[in-house]
Structure 1
Amino acid sequence: MNAPSLPFQFAEALVRDRRRSAHTVRAYQACAERLVTFLQSHWGRGIDRSALAGATTADLRAFLAHRRASGLGNASAARELSAVRGFLAWAADGAPGPVLKGPRVKKGVPRPVAPDEAVALAETVSDEAVEPWIGARDWAVLLLLYGAGLRIGEALSLTGAALPLGETLSVTGKREKTRMVPILPQVRDAIERYVALCPYGTAAKEPIFRGAKGGPLSPAVIRRSVRRARAALGLSDRTTPHALRHSFATHLLGRGADLRSLQELLGHASLSSTQIYTRVDAAHLLDVYRNAHPRA
């Protein structure tokens, strides 16, 4: 019988020693497999654990350039770099590995969080959780903000009465105004997975999202986790939980949603509050034009 591959052994260690979630383990194993495949071609020979432990900064830089050439964005590249660093550290039994700074995102005027950045942010927050159920919780909360456009307070005020989830969710927003919000299958699956893992139950009058000791989850916990994740990914300090809601709105508008429908989805009392997204979208389009047009 062939010995398990290095990426597979790394994945087993993540489960055994760091209690990572199945989602994280799959993602990190895939990154490790990509690195091994690249190094086999880059070095022109087979890879064992001692060879892997000897990888240099130049090797890591070449791998990252290879991945960026395939269209990897800044946030995804930073996340990939984090995963392969962990793989190399495992191969070297925890010894310091090659040092390479991740890509940075230039700061400027507020911009929507790109889809790959939103997903990378949520994945990184989830990965850094101390328990699998907490990682599943943070993943579900951030997907609610980005995938359904909820305010963080609206997401954290949801109770067990909302379960089981259907295709829509009743949300109580500012001034106790209630609205119906469509729920994407990915968001529903994330919440259901969290509920299955949560050790505190989901009574109808109790909050769905719980803190580590079982009380209501504080928005400050999510904000702190997002700050750490955006630093690791090199994202702007404007990348906040609320920015995910802005991105939801801007991306819908860019795909043809009308302002009145967007107003209902966001729970804005006034259409003028929603119209800000036309300006944000126009600014984004201007950036695209300037970067793409040969005469710009």
Structure 2
Amino acid sequence: MVPEIRDLADEYVSYIRLEKNYSSYTVAEYEKDLQGFFAFLEHEHINDLDEVDYAVARLYVTRLYDRMFARTTISRKISSIRSFYKFANARYGIQDQAFRLLYHPKKEERLPAFFYEQELEKLFEVTIGEDHRSLRDRALLELLYATGIRVGELVSIEVKDVDHYLGIVKVMGKGRRERFVPYGSFADEALERYLEASRPRLMKEKKHSMLFVNLRGDPLTARGVRYILNDLMERAALHTKITPHMIRHTFATHLLGAGADLRTVQELLGHRHLSSTQVYTHITNEHLRQTYLQTHPRA
């Protein structure tokens, strides 16, 4: 017996969380995409998933364009719903052709944003200080830039995952793939000062093993990291929007710009496919082109 749409959605969400080991962020995004799709079905007076044919699927995508969603967002929503229908087909025989036949919209050619070294230096300058907050923010920023890890990987690091002797940190990447990432002397010094002088006092009576903590001593969340970085941007008077991923883009761009090979950067970033890393070569190539145009006498 096929369950109600909402019950089937709950079953699917449990499946991707527990069996597929999707991150909490990815699960939340998929769940949000499904809720939006169900709201569309309700508006169109469609009560059965089998009633959704190709024409209905196309209408849904058209409505997304009407609401001015970015192509990348629409593409993700199609993937979310396609995955849901594939699950429903495998479990209950519900037809999944409607979204299987849809083409993903072509992505905009948008290069990842990154910091130039002078901009990054301004961020580091505002973390200088001996107070607990400054020591923590310095260690956090140094580790992000030294390793290029994702924010979800950063907030999952435990104290025992940091090897100060070898200068490496163990992180858990996408798909529960574990990897070891090296970091340099700047990050090592910042981490040691944070662990010795700041973290124990921020922790107070709290008992947990997570590396980074908030000002109450609780484990730092991804949202907390974004708040810290935005605060640093305001204090550094850098008039641009910052995300933790922007530090990751900066890490990769600076390595490739200094001559690192693509395969090494792929391993450091934890990318499964080389194509995910190749986007950074476009950034470095564009930077070389702009430098050439500005400096060559006959450019």
Give the superposition deviation at 1:235: 2.7
> Cα 1:205–1:226, aligned 2, differ >3 Å: closer, same or farther?
closer
Give CA-to-partner distance per residue, 1:153-184, whole Å, 9 cap, x none: 21221112124523222211111111111110
The correspondence for 2:294, drawn from 283, 291, 295, is: 291
Question: Is 1:133 paired with 2:132?
Answer: yes
> Cα 1:257–1:204, aligned 2, differ >3 Å: closer, same or farther?
farther
Q: Which runs of 5+ in 2 are unaligned?
A: 1-109
Contact 1:159 1:208 in 2 (8 A): yes
Give the superposition deviation at 1:111: 4.2
Q: Which amino acid aligns with 2:124?
A: A
Q: Which amino acid aligns with 2:168?
A: T
> Cα 1:119–1:222, aligned 2, differ >3 Å: closer, same or farther?
farther
Give the superposition deviation at 1:152: 1.7
| Paired position in structure 1 for 2:150 | 151
Give CA-to-partner distance per residue, 1:240-262, whole Å, 9 cap, x none: 32211111111111122111111
| Paired position in structure 1 for 2:96 | none
2:123 & 2:269 partners in 1: Cα distance?
22
Aligned to 1:169, the other structure's residue is in SS state: strand
| Paired position in structure 2 for 1:189 | 189
> Cα 1:207–1:217, aligned 2, differ >3 Å: closer, same or farther?
same
> Cα 1:218–1:284, aligned 2, differ >3 Å: closer, same or farther?
same
Give the superposition deviation at 1:205: 5.8
Contact 1:250 1:277 in 2 (8 A): yes
2:271 & 2:205 partners in 1: Cα distance?
29
Please give the TM-score of this superposition, normalised by the length of structure 1: 0.57
Runs of 4 or more above 6 Å deviation: 201-204
Q: Which amino acid aligns with 1:193?
A: R
The correspondence for 2:264, drawn from 261, 265, 270, is: 261
| Paired position in structure 2 for 1:274 | 277
Give the superposition deviation at 1:218: 2.1
The correspondence for 1:228, drawn from 224, 228, 231, is: 231
The alignment covers a number of residue pairs equal to: 186
| Paired position in structure 1 for 2:125 | 123
1:237 & 1:150 partners in 2: Cα distance?
21
Aligned to 1:181, the other structure's residue is in SS state: strand
Q: Which amino acid aligns with 1:188?
A: D
Aligned to 1:179, the other structure's residue is in SS state: strand
Aligned to 2:175, the other structure's residue is in SS state: helix
1:202 & 1:283 partners in 2: Cα distance?
51
Contact 2:170 2:179 in 1 (8 A): yes
User: Equivalent residues in 2 for 1:14-163 (5 A)?
Assistant: 110-124=112-126, 126=127, 132-163=131-162
Give CA-to-partner distance per residue, 1:183-225, whole Å, 9 cap, x none: 1011011111101122228999610111111111122233223
Query: Larger C-alpha radius of gyration, 1 or 2?
Result: 2
1:266 & 1:202 partners in 2: Cα distance?
35
> Cα 1:242–1:206, aligned 2, differ >3 Å: closer, same or farther?
same
